[in-house]
Amino acid sequence: MKSEVRVLDHTSKVLENNPLKDPHNRKVIVYLPPSYGSSGKRYPVVHLIAGFTGFGALSMNLSPYNENIQQRLDRLIKTGKIMEMIVVLPDCFTKYGGSQYVNSAATGRYEDYIIKEIVPFIDQNFRTIPKAASRCIIGKSSGGYGAMWLAMRHPDVFGLMATHSGDSAFEYCYMEHFAEFPILIEKYGKGHKAVQKFIKTQINTNQPKGSDFHNIINTIGMSACYSPNPKRKEYNFDLPFDIYTGEIIPEVWKKWLNFDPVRQVKKYKNNLKKLKLIYVDCGIKDEFKLQAGARIYCEKLKENGIKYTHLEFNGGHMNVQYRYDTSFPIISKHFSYK
């Protein structure tokens, strides 16, 4: 018996007429374990969500010196490290690079897309165990952030959560790039019109991208998610700093902090206590200082009497998919199989 990967078309009502005019017809990739075709039984489900500028299909990429997600899951199942499970790879990419899996007036309702559409869609089309104790949300980087955000707000949907290097403690992972943004964006003009020009001329498939592209698109993408402003005439979000000096704008920055997981633990502590698993890991050499966010997040969990597993490893932020060899077995042990 071999595993199977199916690619399904899904037409979203939630994303129809989204602010960025991104497609509302999306591909959903589903990994089915080796016995799925012959057993007739039901399986727990992992929803694996991508990082910034990523989408589900990238996890299927073949590499001569690495495994894609199907190969990794096949090996973990064959060696008895994990029980058989269904794994779902949705597409939440946006023009600005990603959605952070939140509802935003600047990008779209991607929290609703996952919770109200993708989860039911999978349960309706596959033999899942359709309950929170048998459903996990996991991701890395922005996907790890999305896992934290969705699980703490919807413990009735996701009973297990695993975050790898997830965005948290925003003052460490985002703020250090704010001062350089006004300098980098000047290449495209002056003030807010420079941002407008970047969006109009640089967000496309033309290559090569300049060395400043990622830093600019990252700040644009996060601003669109955390501080949307459809009334702004140049573009549909507010930057959390002055476009010329880089000085923090407190009222906008406060909107960002309302999305920061370390600042939301107390608010959602009752929801977090319902989770069967909270798994957190991060490399101690993370280039975005996310090891600090992971530590602070776990301390907040401890202060509020919430159980968790926190692991660190000697690595950075990039190419750490091998950490799934650690998280998936732990997820497997905590699943309900009935």
CATH at 267:
3.40.50.1820
Q: Say yes or no: 191 and 272 in one domain.
A: no
Q: Say yes or no: 27 and 134 in one domain.
A: yes
Q: Say yes or no: 248 and 278 in one domain.
A: no
Rg (CA), the chain: 20
Q: Say yes or no: 19 and 46 in one domain.
A: yes
Rounded to two decimals, the pTM is 0.97
Q: Say yes or no: 323 and 303 in one domain.
A: yes
In the predicted model, what is the mean pLDDT of residues 277-302?
97
Q: Say yes or no: 142 and 267 in one domain.
A: yes
Q: Say yes or no: 239 and 289 in one domain.
A: no
The rounded distance, in Å, linking the Cα atoms of 159 and 132 is 4
User: With bands split at pLDDT 50, 70 and 90, how would you rate the model's confidence at 57?
Assistant: confident
User: With bands split at pLDDT 50, 70 and 90, how would you rate the model's confidence at 65?
Assistant: confident
Picking from 234, 257, 280, the residue at the C-terminal end of a domain is: 257
Say how many CA atoms lie within 13 Å of 323 toward its Cβ.
Answer: 26
CA-closest candidate to residue 148, choices 254, 14, 293: 293
Dump pLDDT digits (tens) for 179-215: 999 999 999 999 999 999 999 999 999 999 988 999 9
Q: Say yes or no: 139 and 276 in one domain.
A: yes
Dump pLDDT digits (tens) for 23-32: 999 999 999 9
Picking from 257, 279, 295, the residue at the C-terminal end of a domain is: 257
Q: Say yes or no: 253 and 268 in one domain.
A: no
First to last CA, the chain: 23
Picking from 219, 242, 257, the residue at the C-terminal end of a domain is: 257
pLDDT of res. 245: 96
Residue 176 clears pLDDT 90, i.e. is over it = no
Q: Say yes or no: 211 and 245 in one domain.
A: yes
Residue 95 clears pLDDT 90, i.e. is over it = yes
In the predicted model, what is the mean pLDDT of residues 250-276?
98
Q: Say yes or no: 267 and 139 in one domain.
A: yes
Domains in the chain: how many in total? Answer: 2
What domain range includes position 306?
A: 4-169+261-334
Q: Say yes or no: 192 and 281 in one domain.
A: no
**Cα separation values, 78 from 33, 83, 197, Å:** 10, 9, 52
Distant-in-sequence, close-in-space partners of 136: CB < 8 Å, separation ≥ 6: 44, 45, 46, 47, 158, 159, 160, 161, 162, 277, 331, 335
